Amino acid sequence: MTNAYDENKNFPVSWEELHRNSKALAWRLLEIGPFTGIVAVTRGGLVPAAIVARELEIRLIETACLASYQDKSRSEVQILKPASMAEDGEGWLIIDDLVDTGETGKMLRQMMPKAHFATVYAKPSGRPVVDTFVTEVSQDTWIFFPWDLESKPSVPIMGRRG
């Protein structure tokens, strides 16, 4: 199995695009709320959670710290810190950047079954786990978030075939 970083289907996301899509997520969530607070899934959910919190004027922010990648490859989901304030999740909004296979989302659902789970990006395998998302990408696409990127020249798509 090849590493996702070696694939040609990369989806780089700029800070501006992430902000715009996180704000679009807030617009969708406005009709569903109000929410008691937000559970930001570390690390990727921190930035979208901050934007959604600002847009929906939510000041109570909790974190759920989970790890599902080890050295750029998927691993078993580990709970590093549960969202203790959210209890069963009733009235709470869980925010993450991406639902990929859905394994992290399933763990979050077990922890907070009554919470509303929202992500900015969703892949087909993980879509059934989330309640609300903004942008769907194919399962074989690797999303590069702004915190993953540095400015450098890119190779044209045709130049990668070969």
Show which residues are catalytic: 96-97, 100
For tokens 């969530």, what's the residue? 29
Q: What is the CA radius of gyration of the chain?
A: 16
Neighbours of 78 (CB within 10 A): 12
Residue holding tokens 């990369």? Answer: 10
Give burial (CB, 10 Å; 0-12/13-18/19+) of 25: buried
Phi then psi dihedrals of residue 129, to 5 deg: -80, -30
Cα separation, 75 vs 22, whole angstroms: 27
The single residue listed with the structure tokens 């996180």 is 22
Nearest to residue 4, comparing CAs of 98, 95, 85?
A: 98
